[in-house]
Amino acid sequence: MHSEVRETLCLIQSLLQNNMAKQQRPPVITIMGHVDHGKTTLLDFIRKTRVAAGEAGGITQHIGAYNIDHNGNPLTFIDTPGHAAFTKMRERGAHITDIVVLVVAANDGVKPQTIESIRHIKHANVAVVVVINKIDLKDAQPDMAKSQLAEHDLLVQGYGGDIEVVELSAKTGKGVDKLLDTLVVLAELNGYNADPEASLEAVVIESFKDSRCGPVASVIVTEGMLKVRQEVTAGEVLGRVKLLSDASGKTLSEVKPGFPAEIIGFKTVPSVGSIVRDVTADYPEEEVEETEETESTEVDPYADFDFGSLVDNKPRLKLIIRADVEGTLEAIIDTLDEESTQLLDFGVGQVSESDVELAAASGALIISFHSKVSKQVLSIAKNSKVRIKQYSVIYELIENLQKQMLKLMDPTIDEIVTGEAEILQIFEMRGERIAGVRVKTGEIKKTDQFYQKRGDVRLGEVFLKTMQHGKEMISSVKAKNEAGLTFMKKKLDFQVGDILVAYHLDDE
């Protein structure tokens, strides 16, 4: 009996010690919402910096973490990109997030990326605060945005739910203090705690290779303390913390739970989402086993992509991709269609001469995102007739790649048909065959691009030599009118009933 009481008392004492070890930490807050609804502008105002103005196209390109102080209360923000291409980035942000701030423009309402964000919020089961932004605009309709959110089962106060909603203008700052007050109160109610004396755990939210500093990892500490000269691992990547700094570049000696930092000292670039741990620390055995199982079954962002030969001998767009950071690289590759693309090589860093050599040998297109291409490499590429496409805005890159992938699946995808003419008769005159045609739809011009079609089969491109009506030379023929056509290729095989399709390429 006495032993049972002793065990109970020991258990109670252990629980009390653990509870005492826990300390309040800053909440980790993720900004989500549709592109151009003002997420970065909101953080820009909060931090009193000009991040939004420095971003290409005004759109956030990478995940960054920042800590601010609001009336003595620290708040950590993760700024996630707003485009749909960064679905995985949003999911990763939600996994380490305590509170999501969902930004919806008062003049635009719920949009596709808003709906996508709502899905991630529900999946992550985190607290949420809705921000109705751009209330300073004349066409602002905050009630419309709230009712649209209700249609997607996100119920704010006054619309059937208890989710906090703040109307503000990220441009003027009106309502921003109310948002920060709301976040502080929500954090106090939920009681986000961590043990600074526990073994270190931090999450890598971004990583890249700097030409001067080597591998760099942005992290948020979740347990324990991150310190300079600490021996650490991130997945299978080893390192020793040589330098710690915050978002403003200030050098740090240690980082507490809930705070972000950049680490310099890893031997190679760690994967985004990997857990940073202290090499010398002891971790609970069951936690290590669970982590090892998680790491062994975790989905590699590139594992499902076929880097090999053509599928069913169909042509595929060959690509070599270079990006400045790991998270963006993953987001780009995640959008590729395996049926229409063949990824020959990828990685973080600049386009190299060996990349150009590989592209020249394989006929690949080189994609460079936010990564400088040297004049020497550009010169070699030009001489080798290798295409290097450089981008600074992620959604432009994705849209252009998708267009090229669609072009492979359907070669006519960017063709705009302007007219069709049917061959009614065939004449012989002075050694040339003349096709007598009637325009069925639209208009055909002598300067148009044409292809010949027989039934449903496209036979190939044809080039007009002359176009005439009677004895008069003409330059165009409209629907229901007739003309005689001769072609550059004198022995062109055409028959009565063939269709000549006039088209031009969509340059958009």
pLDDT digit string (tens) for 447-494? 888 999 998 888 888 889 999 998 899 999 999 999 999 988 767 789
The model's pLDDT over 478-488, given as tens digits with 9 standing for 90+, comes to 999 999 999 88
- State the average pLDDT for the chain: 83
3-state helix, strand, coil in the chain (%, to 5): 30, 35, 35
Q: With H, G, I as helix, E, B as strand and everything else as coil, classify residue 241.
A: strand
pLDDT at residue 313 in the model: 53
Flag whether pLDDT at 85 surpasses 50. no
Q: Which of 35-44, 97-106, 195-204, 383-392 has the lowest mean pLDDT?
A: 35-44
Q: Which of 71-75, 99-103, 395-399, 489-493 has the lowest mean pLDDT?
A: 489-493
* Predicted model pTM: 0.62
| Average pLDDT for 22-30 | 92
The model's pLDDT over 431-447, given as tens digits with 9 standing for 90+, comes to 788 999 999 999 999 98
With a CB cutoff of 8 Å and minimum separation 6, the contacts of 14 are none
Cα 46 to Cα 69: distance, rounded to the nearest angstrom: 10
The secondary structure of residue 299, as a DSSP letter, is P
- Are 317-409 and 415-505 the same fold in CATH? no
pLDDT at residue 466 in the model: 92
CATH number belonging to domain 201-297? 2.40.30.10
Between 411 and 326, residue with greater pLDDT: 326
Domain ranges of the chain: 23-193, 201-297, 317-409, 415-505
Between 121 and 24, residue with greater pLDDT: 24
Which residue has tokens 């491109």?
Answer: 461
The model's pLDDT over 197-234, given as tens digits with 9 standing for 90+, comes to 999 999 988 888 888 889 999 999 999 999 999 999 99
pLDDT at residue 61 in the model: 57
pLDDT at residue 411 in the model: 64
Cα 176 to Cα 182: distance, rounded to the nearest angstrom: 10
Architecture of domain 317-409: 3-Layer(aba) Sandwich (3.40)
Instruction: Give the pLDDT band (50/70/90) at residue 326.
Output: confident
CATH number belonging to domain 415-505? 2.40.30.10
Residue 60 contacts residue 40 (beta carbons within 8 Å)? yes
Residue 327 contacts residue 273 (beta carbons within 8 Å)? no
Please identify, in words, the CATH class of the domain defined by 23-193.
alpha beta
Mapping DSSP onto H, E and C, the string for 415-476 reads EEEEEEEEEEEEEEECCEEEEEEEEEEEEEECCCEEEEEECCEEEEEECEEEEEECCEECCE
Sheet-wide strand order for 164-167: 64-70, 73-79, 28-33, 99-105, 127-133, 164-167
Q: Which of 236, 230, 241 is nearest to 266 (CA)?
A: 241
Burial zone of 419 (CB within 10 Å; 0-12 exposed, 13-18 middle, 19+ buried) = buried
Strands (DSSP E) along 331-372, which ranges? 341-348, 365-369
| Average pLDDT for 399-405 | 78
Instruction: Give the pLDDT band (50/70/90) at residue 102.
Output: very high
